[in-house]
Structure 1
């Protein structure tokens, strides 16, 4: 049986696409990387994808704000195709800069909802390992993650903010997909690390699950013998399970 295809969207400055490709392949996908500037040369690629991932990094050096120029490129080249994929039931994942892109595109949180990812409350770049909990939500990517996920963060603009109306909507619709449990590293409202859209297909998160897909990648692996592995790999496997369902 042929493995489902996951398309990884990149732009100049994306630097986690290789890590994402390795992690997705470990989760059971075959992968392709699509430079948003050259998407015209492969117009059908996204239409054949079983999953879409917007990779992390510092697209366009975060000029004019994190993810802004990448979002403009995507809106011009792929917005309708991406929306069509979601309507077909294709799971979409935005990691770190990819989360910022999906928010700027208006795909997250969803229609009629307004949110932003601002500068960290500390005013400093955050680079550390965090523990995430997956509360009950409609997100297909986080189903069954009862032990949570341990993975690193690396961002300067990861503070999730929204108005009270949007917050009430996110809570009522079960769109809060991931929360920090080891201390809030950026001041996000409600300890939010990741949210999904109303369909549950689209997940955006600031941490990097692709960087904890093997147990020995955890810096405390040798001390954590006997504890749950809390691999980010399980999140990616959930995406694959949905893609082939």
Structure 2
């Protein structure tokens, strides 16, 4: 599996994603420019955290119009795994690949700490190595991480099992339904505010995020009831 890590102007977690895959798991991963117009060589793509285009207008709003985005949309529609963390999640919502939006934290402050999450869906390409309802801990670092959607969308997300991660315990940003990460209906597009790539080595105190990437490398497809 060949994985792309997209680099936008202002990205600052692209190296974290690359090293989690390359150094820790020896994966075939490559940096890709936001100007790339052909992603056909890649089997999966990752959108990193940071402040793409300085977070002007809204977080992810300008990145959504990067030359690479039509290719990412094409990959998503083809069923290839597409992952976005933090700013990457914001870009995925701005691009319409995931429903809802990420708004300013209720505290109106930047929040940076490790938080507990409950794994709600283990049938995605990124989560099948976790146990259903398992509680893990991952770091967050965001000012605009409060997930918002209208009631009809929230009901649909819950009914379809599209809530993949939920804050367990204190909600750090005011996200509706304590949502920390969601997927599309097909399950191949995942966006989450916490940073699994920052929790992949025991040396740094936490390996709870490692299985996100192991899941992708060892399967990389959507789990069904039959599989």
Q: TM-score, normalised on structure 2?
A: 0.90
The alignment yields a C-alpha RMSD, in angstroms, of 1.8
| 2:48 paired with 1:86 | no
Deviation at 1:82, TM superposition (A): 1.8
Preserved contact between residue 138 and residue 174 of structure 1 (Cα < 8 Å): no
Select the residue among 107, 115, 124 that pairs with 1:122: 107
* Counterpart Cα distance in 2 of 1:184 and 1:155: 13
**SS of the residue aligned with 1:47?**
coil
- Aligned residues of 1:215 and 1:231 also touching (Cα < 8 A): no
Please point out which of 91, 102, 109 is paired with 2:92.
102
Instruction: Select the structure of larger CA radius of gyration.
Output: 1
Higher share in helix = 1
CA contact (8 A) 1:6 1:50 kept: yes
Alpha-carbon distance, 1:61 to partner: 1.4
**Gaps spanning 5+ residues in structure 2: where?**
223-227
Q: TM-score, normalised by structure 1?
A: 0.84
Structure 1 stretches of 4+ with a deviation exceeding 6 A read none
Q: Secondary structure at the match of 1:185?
A: coil
For 1:1-245, list aligned pairs within 5 A: 4-25=1-22, 26-36=24-34, 38-39=35-36, 43-44=37-38, 46-73=39-66, 77-109=67-99, 115-136=100-121, 138-146=123-131, 147-218=134-205, 231-243=208-220
The separation in 2 between residues aligned to 1:145 and 1:105, in whole angstroms, is 28
Q: Where does residue 226 of structure 1 map in the other structure? A: none
State the alpha-carbon separation in 2 of the partners of residues 188 and 84 from structure 1.
29
